[in-house]
Structure 1
Amino acid sequence: MRILVTGASGLIGSAMVERLAQSHEILTLGRRASADFRADLSDPAAIAALDLPAIDALVHCAGVVDEDFRDHPERAMQMAMFGADALVQKAVAAGATRLVYISSAHVYGPMVGHVDETTAYNPVSNYAIAHFATEQVFRRQAKGAVAGAALRPCAVFGDLADPSGFRRWSLIPFSFPRDAAIEHGIVIRSTGEQRRNFVGTADVAACCANWLDSDPTGWSGLNPLGTLTGTVFDFAQICAEVSQTLTGTPCEITRVTPEGPTPGEDFDYATVSPLAQGNQDLRPVLERLMRHALNQQKQEA
């Protein structure tokens, strides 16, 4: 297939291009000069004016992030609704019969209890509402010969295609390995007993590839799963172990002492789809993130 990918230089998008390029022709759309087609998703008119060639599929990896709402909330909603709408309409007009949007587990609401693809939606934060809005924009195009899917990963880890442009170091899968390597300490500002599923970008990309190749119909929601389901404290301990092996210095973990039940300690993120189970190894990625953080520290010294 010829597949148009947005966000190709980002965390998930770069892994997506690497995976899909093994079997398909890839075109990219974004704001960078390296993109095959340049346009800003916050400008629906620019998207609508694109002269796209015939394509078979759209994979949209350039969804909004928390930082977008912190810096420019109105622009973020413009991207999530009207920019995404112009994009998916343009893709369908260019012949796309498979539409994929990389969404978020947050569309299900607070991370408590058992959650799988049959769970009702309950987006609460602006970030979650924006992702749900984009899902709906995609979903209304999934009819007739056009199939669509929303992939909803939980806690994503992965290699950085562009470390200098990465904005999400505050997220646990990136702040913990960085702090472990540089500070030899990880500070958890809670009990750390909240459970998460930690999924690699390669697993998200594999889930997408599986769906694209499955002769899909209608609309689907998929929860790409990684091999590690555990608490935030469990993840911190793994980071500490990898850091000590790499640097030779022990890493101290500080957290709020649990004195009772913690909301989210019962969180069980699951999938009912055979297309969504991943197998990416966490530890090598953590080591590469730590090496990058240490190299960056040397360069800034």
Structure 2
Amino acid sequence: MKVLISGGGGYIGSNLLNKIIDKSEAVGVLGRKNNLSVQSEKIVFYEADITQPIKIELKHQYDVFIHLAAANDIDSLDPKTAMLTTVLGTKYCLDLCKANGINKFIYFSTFQVYGKVSGVMNEETVLEPVNDYAITHMQAEDYVKMFSRTTSIKHIIVRPTNIYGAPVNKDIDRWTLVPNCFCKEAVEKKTITLMSSGKQTRDFIDLNDLSNVTIMLCESFADYENTIVNGASGNNFTIVEIAGIVKEIYEDKYNEECKLVIKSDQPLEANQVSISTDMITKSGFSLSGKESIRAEISRIFDLLK
């Protein structure tokens, strides 16, 4: 298997790259600069800006393109950045695949395209995005589907929920994510601050599981061709529950108090959410249980300290 990846230096990409090397004959990484945390003779780096038409000569005939590069939730606060990077960036990557005969395309979207935080959801749930981050991913999904209708490119769209896990190194700037932000604040201030009651319930998936699911999709592409896969685990946590786990692990590891500050009583009640994992588990893939979050939080602390 020969794989070409955009966003291989990011939070998900670095973890995936670390795992997919052993499964691949060759791995190409597309990016603006070569800041990869993972090094291997199998890796070829291609300097490219996905916000512009991509004019590069590929050194291999790649089997599958995994598109991870996009504006994150913080960058997407600027609608122009979100449109340019997420929407047009996806279109230009699809153009590259079309020009080079790469006929398998895995697109990483977001669970936020559903626009819902409660209820029972699966891949057929109606999309009702409520922010620029979500709506630009929805628009990028439409580009992916259009190319599947009009070219030989087949796709899989992955919609991850909330991801936890230690980054490959601490320079990967995703310290706004839960629980990463709680760990960072605990180390720097011996405090964890919640601006809400923390009773919001979310599905969280282990970063390692998400990478392994992606590898499974590459290897079993025909079984998932032109489908959507929710990157969910079925493991629900409230935000305050995760904050409490971070506090407990910090105090156990370092034998010092960490204060939990809750600044609001809203929301008053936890929401109920159930997200189907059937598309992942139908292949026999086994997702990690809730206990894996403790191991990952401990690894995040080791990285920060």
TM-score (structure 2 length as normaliser) = 0.86
Partner of 1:292: 303
CA distance in 2, matches of 1:206, 1:224: 11
For 1:84 and 1:222, the matched residues in 2 are separated by 18
Q: Does the alignment pair 1:175 with 2:181?
A: yes
Aligned to 1:114: 120
- Aligned partner of residue 123 in structure 1, secondary structure: coil
Matches within 5 A, 1:1-301: 1-24=1-24, 25-33=26-34, 36-43=45-52, 45=53, 47=54, 49-52=55-58, 53-70=60-77, 72-143=78-149, 146-166=153-173, 168-214=174-220, 215-216=222-223, 218-226=225-233, 228-256=235-263, 258=265, 261-262=268-269, 265-273=271-279, 274=281, 275=283, 278-279=287-288, 281-294=292-305
Give secondary structure in 2 for the equivalent of 1:120: coil
CA distance in 2, matches of 1:266, 1:213: 34
Q: Deviations over 1:34-56 (max 9, x none)?
A: 5611111122x2x1x22224211
Letter in 2 for 1:288: R
1:258 Cα deviation after fit? 4.5
- CA offsets per residue over residues 184-241 of structure 1, 9 Å max, x none? 3211111111111121221111111122222235421111234741111111111111
Deviations 1:20-65 (A, max 9, x none): 222112111101135611111122x2x1x22224211000111211
Counterpart amino acid of 1:225? Answer: A
The DSSP-based 3-state class of the residue aligned with 2:243 is helix
Whether the aligned pair in 2 keeps the contact of 1:100 and 1:151 (CA below 8 Å) is yes
**Deviation per residue, 1:133-171 (Å, 9 max, x gap):** 1112112223575321111111112222342341x3222
* Structure 2 CA distance for partners of 1:92 and 1:259, relative to 1, 3 Å: closer
Cα distance in 2 for partners of 1:66, 1:229 equals 21
Greater than 6 Å deviation, 4+ residue runs: none
Amino acid aligned to 2:136: A
Judge conservation of contact 1:197–1:225 (CA < 8 Å) in 2.
Answer: yes
**Rounded Cα–Cα distance in structure 1 between residues aligned with 2:207 and 2:304:** 19
2:301 maps to a residue whose letter is M
The 8 Å contact of residues 203 and 225 in structure 1, kept in 2 or not, is answered as no
RMSD across aligned C-alpha pairs, in angstroms? 2.3
Q: Verify the 8 A CA contact 1:145 1:217 in the aligned structure 2.
A: no
SS in 2 for 1:32: coil
* Unaligned 5+ runs, structure 1: 295-301
Note the residue ranges of structure 2 that are not aligned, 5 or more in a row. 36-43
The answer to which of 267-276 and 150-159 deviates more is 267-276
TM-score, normalising length from structure 1? 0.87
Give the length in aligned residue pairs: 288
3-state SS of 2:13 partner: helix
Residue type of the partner of 1:68?
Answer: D
Taking a change above 3 Å as real, the CA distance of residues 259 and 39 of structure 1, as seen in their structure-2 partners, is closer
What is the aligned partner in structure 1 of residue 39 from structure 2? Answer: none
Say which is worse superposed, 249-258 or 192-201, in terms of deviation.
249-258
Which AA in structure 1 matches 2:50?
L
